Structure 1
């Protein structure tokens, strides 16, 4: 056998296949570690399994196996019999860190989401979408869980959008936040533009959370709401900015066009529409995070997708805009989409 053939054979191994099939191990390990506050304890000081068992009232054997698994996955590091945080987990998994995002497990690994993913994946592949929860389920408690849990994952893109808006020669004074959820996109704009008044639209139960967050941020006097479905209620008019953060990807092309037309009709002269989306390249397999997001939409929505810049441009033109431009917002994997009149 040639050297080239031997090299090719040596690169073939079943590891990636097995890891893909057993992906639920990672979910389970992270859910257990976050629930036990393991990462915050390790952030205080490196510790043995025995020390962690005493502090968590969990089994020493269980913690030893869990921590070893996390070390294998690169989430924690092991020195002798002591475990410590990796640089990444120190930033994102220690509750004392400003970058803490452990709360995302409450939504992304919730029983509702796990069931949508795993109960019958063949069905949503065959159907081209999920007939389960999707995003059209009115007043479903999952959206409260989403709004509460997912803030750490979106706060960077909210601040990126607000920073862009703050550079405009004529900053917006009247802003509509569609599917406001936790409210932090509107709150970020209100912080960046002191004269801006925010109108948040979402289900009534979700808006209670957004209003609390706005009040905590000192924005209550500049924050009002419209309760109901974005498809059914009136949005009002004369907005200098309509924001659609993390919303269009839940729908097919035709529904996105309908929403964009409604947004365009709600604008004051010179107003703008901005969206936040995970935008893959035209090859649909890069960058990894935006490209993989399409699978999440397949499993959890009826017709959602991760749209390319070209597809977003077609939506824009079908809705009456001149086009759409896409701008990365690092370090977030999301992009800012500007619908241009």
Structure 2
């Protein structure tokens, strides 16, 4: 077992390694190395970087195994580093850029202040996340790319592992641009879909659904899920929605869904369900980000979700692991 000092210093060193990855992602280093190795001077010119500074970052990246030396002063991309290319399936470039974005970086750096007060230092400085993104279009574009990339493995797991038999109409509550709904509808040609989100979001979803050839089977409806959701559907999907809200607001949303669904309907909550032990888990990392960026948002365990469902007159009936740390929690009316 590693010495405790080694574990702690490994975590401390992680910020330098992340900063190196962030530099690689921001400068597009992986894209420039996609066709083969380059000398540092040429790579710096292509990336718009200061060559001596870039050389020092590349040395750190080489120690991490994402690039390797090639010749006297050149570097090549490794298989591990290829996932930072912007043009490959499963790219994590947008994820790294989002975590290094100014507001997010500030939020994590000010986590001690958040823990002291119980209120997000990010919210105190910038306001609510979506207000912040609305006034920072560059950050919003990075965030959208991050959310799209993050949704891909979850959506693939959803369509492969969940049985949608009996679902004639699916409502994607707070479905964003519609990537998840489109993927589910493509996998189930007899299903109809409704994307429900705020007005300015629904406009973008209509365009995506039309571009996906789904305009005759799907519609985007604008509204506020704290007031109501579209009635009469067989299933309601809430993907990465409930974790944004404290228990009181989460129950309000779930109750509105419960009141709107068809008899025998179901609620499908796609979230990261925390384990009950102290084993490492992606959800524990995500929970600290939620703590830093939002007031009241949190990741929950299966038991905590079961309690929310119970308060909304629903019962947790199944939990399906989707991969990438996420789970699908299915609940039905009591």
Give the TM-score, by structure 2 length.
0.86
Inter-CA distance 296–51: structure 2 relative to 1 (3 Å threshold):
same
Inter-CA distance 42–218: structure 2 relative to 1 (3 Å threshold):
same
Deviations 1:65-116 (A, max 9, x none): 12112122333233554322232322x2123322223123443322222222
Partner of 1:258: 252
Partner of 2:117: 127
Q: Is the 8 A contact 1:33 1:39 kept in 2?
A: yes
Q: Does 1:326 align with 2:319?
A: yes
Q: Does 1:153 align with 2:162?
A: no
TM-superposed CA distance for 1:12, in Å, is 5.1
Secondary structure of 1:150's partner? helix
Cα root mean square deviation, aligned: 2.7
Whole-angstrom distance in 1 between the partners of 2:332 and 2:161: 15
Secondary structure of 1:221's partner? coil
Map of 1:278-293 to 2, 5 A cutoff?
Answer: 278-283=272-277, 285-293=278-286
Inter-CA distance 57–312: structure 2 relative to 1 (3 Å threshold):
closer
TM-superposed CA distance for 1:302, in Å, is 1.1
Whole-angstrom distance in 1 between the partners of 2:329 and 2:90: 25
Partner of 2:305: 312
TM-superposed CA distance for 1:25, in Å, is 3.3
Whole-angstrom distance in 1 between the partners of 2:140 and 2:207: 13
Deviations 1:254-281 (A, max 9, x none): 2222211111111112221101111121
Q: Does 1:39 align with 2:17?
A: no
Q: Which of 55, 59, 64 is the matching residue for 1:64?
A: 55
Give the TM-score, by structure 1 length.
0.85
Corresponding pairs, count? 325
Deviations 1:278-335 (A, max 9, x none): 112112x3342112221111111111221111111111112111224322112x2211
Question: Which range moves more in the overlay, 42-51 or 295-304?
Answer: 42-51
Inter-CA distance 140–244: structure 2 relative to 1 (3 Å threshold):
same
Partner of 1:102: 93
Whole-angstrom distance in 1 between the partners of 2:165 and 2:297: 35
Q: Which of 189, 195, 218 is the matching residue for 2:213?
A: 218
Secondary structure of 1:87's partner? coil
